Structure 1
Amino acid sequence: MPNQAIQNPQTTVPNTQNMTDKDFLNDLLTTEKYMTASYTTAMNEASHDQLFQQISNVCHETEQCSRQLFNKMFQNGWYALEGAPTQTIQQSHQEYAGMQNQLPSGNMPH
């Protein structure tokens, strides 16, 4: 059985050379994703606890903005997801559980 797209009806946008709402949201979402990845790198390299915490807070805010942009695009039908067969989901879950069991338990040393 082929995967089915999970998508809302598309909000129509004018066919124009100018940027549309869809173009702006797509550009913003791409930027937010890039910023989140960059903040994650900065957190990994922060040697000062307060700096780490400030970057972490900004990263979380950026992730929230990214999620809101995705939701808006999804609501307008400009972002689609593919449904996966139950067997594929179960397989992925089993693989993840196996990897999780290989991780060390307890707290990491500081």
Structure 2
Amino acid sequence: MNSNSNKIQNPETPVMKSSQMSDRDFLNDMLTTEKYLTASFNYAINEASNQTIYQDLMRISEDVHQCQRDLYNTMFANGWYSLTTADTATLQQSYQQFEGYKQQLPLH
């Protein structure tokens, strides 16, 4: 199957090719940074032993996650971020794998 037929992508907004960073380059850099920050905040939240710090980290994390989502939406809208659809066999395999995990959990 042609890999392009599996892509979900908007028409790409053209950017000038040059040695300087384009809007796409800046957005991609910011998105990568926000993804790193969201992961880091998740670790910090899980490790917070003080309730006040935990709540502060949660509020900041929500803002960081929203910023990451906004950057993703902007890149996707401009055709600078694409997704690949999963075929039915892959989805079924994942489903069966997690059903197996579910069967291993103790019943409460």
Superposition TM-score, scaled by structure 2 size: 0.85
**Corresponding position: 1:38 with 2:40:** yes
Equivalent position of 2:49 in the other structure: 47
User: Which aligned runs of 4 or more in structure 1 are off by greater than 6 angstroms?
Assistant: none
Aligned length: 106
Cα-to-partner distance string for 1:59-97 (whole Å, 9 max, x where unaligned): 121111111111111111111111111221122122223
Structure 2 portions without partners, runs of 5+:
none
Q: How does 1:6-45 map to 2 (within 5 A)?
A: 6-45=8-47
Counterparts of 1:104 and 1:64, CA distance in 2: 36
Q: Relative to structure 2, which stretch is displaced further, 94-103 or 24-33?
A: 94-103
Provide the alpha-carbon RMSD of the alignment: 1.8
Superposition TM-score, scaled by structure 1 size: 0.84
Q: Relative to structure 2, which stretch is displaced further, 97-106 or 38-47?
A: 97-106
Choose from 75, 88, 93 the match for 2:77: 75
Equivalent position of 2:64 in the other structure: 62
Percentage of matched positions with identical amino acids: 49
Q: Residues 103 and 48 (structure 1 numbering): CA distance in 2 closer, same or farther, change over 3 Å?
A: farther
Structure 1 portions without partners, runs of 5+:
none
